[in-house]
Structure 1
């Protein structure tokens, strides 16, 4: 690997078992030996052919009528073999919606479309896969959900849409459109795109950890959260740098034996940050994620030790999220806020600060 910033070789040929071939695509951020790297290009044509193959990026947008089915749609996307590399819940302004759908401005349905697309939050996703543009549109099904139910009953629009406008999701119709639409939601020029939907009031923070994202559990976790009656009012995918992870877990440094492992896990790959709203959200989410009562009255660190122990969760609260999706005390599927006072501090605005280094990737530099 060659470090473009410092103009030197950063890593020669070595074995790194935590890295998968599927992770090696332009635009991805990977963590190698505690260093966050941004893959900006392939080192040569041979690598591009072997690693890049037919990889394309496209926009998958979940419309207001289907946000309540967010988990099921993401499960369908992941089950098809796509990789989700960016995600953001936003509420479009009228101007933003009109700009996005400007090609339909002369159509009779334009006004209804704009009204619908600004009626509630949407979720924009960048998905990567072989022939992603065509593959995603095939998974979507026909534009009209009624037609989709007869012609493609297993498609997204057949399962979750209701008509030609409220049809659950959108997909770019060409590689050029995909590039333009992804730039709209995820600007590469340093802009922020449409504003996220975070409220930062009467809420709590939940982070789907990197191991769970990597294992394809994002959709399942979202489904369980929504099925339990929680509202997901904001969502964003990001990759955390080690320094940010250390700051995030600072309260446990020198107190919890697994502190270094926790930091390493949190910055090992993409996370999904969620803002969760419900009455008494911090306590209720803790109870949902793992053992809380009767341990809720323990001091903060003792509470942390118990609620994050997956084995204890399996014995005391076998139906909790961590009990059946967590693996270990560190890889326990999700982080949730310990105390109500921390809910806003751990909100999406505080945790989405990730740094990166840029590298050029060569196949000869990595043994997979």
Structure 2
């Protein structure tokens, strides 16, 4: 008896064609379709990829700008940040293609992503231009409301204490500078009071010494800063808000330590007045310029890692408690080439020169011009006296031989050692001038 052929399993047949012939053909067709879609509709696939990723990871999307020095032009990207593992991916908007596949970037935090800030991804300095979608904007924008604060001439001696209150209330100092207001700038800033009887006295007071202008960020920043300030009259503040800035550091209605915007509209106007914007930054007369004492001072830089760790207030407080004066102050987010130029003298001398440069350009730093409270020869020794307070470059060594030094208290590694200070008296003036003259 002749046996009939075994019937193929149904899974082996697709429309009368055996799987052995159908599968290779199907793969070829899918490959062609995928290649076509990549060429014709890259944004669709990129969007699909991002959405698929978001199913398993919370992510936030931003439009960022990178200035490409090689091409001498700005390049815009869609950047997606995944806070679960601090990873990012980037998509080239103009050329509609993936620029950077998802990769972990240590040191980034979701709090670094707000409009106007700079972040560093693989040595590229990116400016956040806008939120990339409504979900990201809705989730993050309320946490980054900005307000204006000013430490007045009488409050400057307690700058560290004021910054400590600010940090403890969850504010981030996103921009800062010391300035010496001219009478014209002061009159313009306080123009709403120009018909009041105290206007002349107010102008005399606010121009009597340097002030520190601050941009503060947090949720409900305007109202929370006003609450932290306390009543205008320091005497009333002591009675009604004893833990407020004016209660702790103010004297009377005029000498009340600090100022704060009273509305979001006023905050926008006052921030623009002191820090300018993209339209008027080229006009140096449009807003008060940074000021620093260039003679008989030494340079101190609170490094990016220390600012992120909220050590700024404690460092400034320690500096002032040790008898030093803050004679200049400004925040910077240095480009890599500027950090490299500043540290040029250390090239070939320190073991990890590149690490120093990367740390200094990795985020916001605060540069201080430091003066000593003496006169004559004592002023000339400010650099050495301050270096003693700072301590050895290696925090581990500092913890052993100078446990109360700044680097012992706030340093982690040789690169992340809390602060930089001028090594030699002859370097001090050059370093102060680099930030407060050359980079202005």
TM over 0.5: yes
1:266 aligns with 2:369: no
What residue number does 1:137 align with? 226
1:339 aligns with 2:424: yes
What residue number does 2:382 align with? 281
Q: Where do 1:115-130 residues align within 5 Å?
A: 115-130=204-219
Change (3 A) 1:54 1:228: closer
What residue number does 1:199 align with? 293
Contact 1:2–1:11 (8 Å) recurs in 2: no
Comparing 324-333 with 57-66, greater Cα deviation is found at 324-333
Give the C-alpha shift of residue 182 in structure 1.
0.5
1:234 aligns with 2:324: no
Q: What is the TM-score when the length of structure 2 is the normalising length? A: 0.74
Comparing 84-93 with 339-348, greater Cα deviation is found at 339-348
1:35 aligns with 2:124: yes
Give the C-alpha shift of residue 54 in structure 1.
4.7
Task: Give unpaired runs (5+ residues) of structure 1.
Answer: 291-306, 356-368
The number of residue pairs the alignment matches comes to: 339
What residue number does 1:297 align with? none
Which SS does the other structure have where 1:344 is aligned?
Answer: helix
Contact 2:63–2:128 (8 Å) recurs in 1: no
Q: 1:75 aligns with which of 160, 164, 186?
A: 164
Which SS does the other structure have where 1:327 is aligned?
Answer: coil
Q: What is the TM-score when the length of structure 1 is the normalising length? A: 0.88
Contact 1:238–1:352 (8 Å) recurs in 2: no
Partners of 2:433 and 2:238 lie apart in 1 by 37
Partners of 1:129 and 1:212 lie apart in 2 by 19
What residue number does 1:63 align with? 152
What residue number does 2:304 align with? 210
Change (3 A) 1:162 1:14: same
1:321 aligns with 2:406: yes
Which SS does the other structure have where 1:70 is aligned?
Answer: helix
Deviations 1:142-200 (A, max 9, x none): 11111111111111111111111111110001111111101111011214421322121
Q: Where do 1:89-108 residues align within 5 Å?
A: 89-108=178-197
> Which protein has the larger Cα radius of gyration, Structure 1 or Structure 2?
2
Give the C-alpha shift of residue 117 in structure 1.
0.5
What residue number does 2:84 align with? none
Contact 1:205–1:347 (8 Å) recurs in 2: yes
Give the C-alpha shift of residue 90 in structure 1.
0.8
Deviations 1:37-96 (A, max 9, x none): 111211111110112135311101001111000001011111100110111011111111
Partners of 1:140 and 1:23 lie apart in 2 by 26
CA RMSD of aligned residues (A): 1.8
Which SS does the other structure have where 1:181 is aligned?
Answer: helix
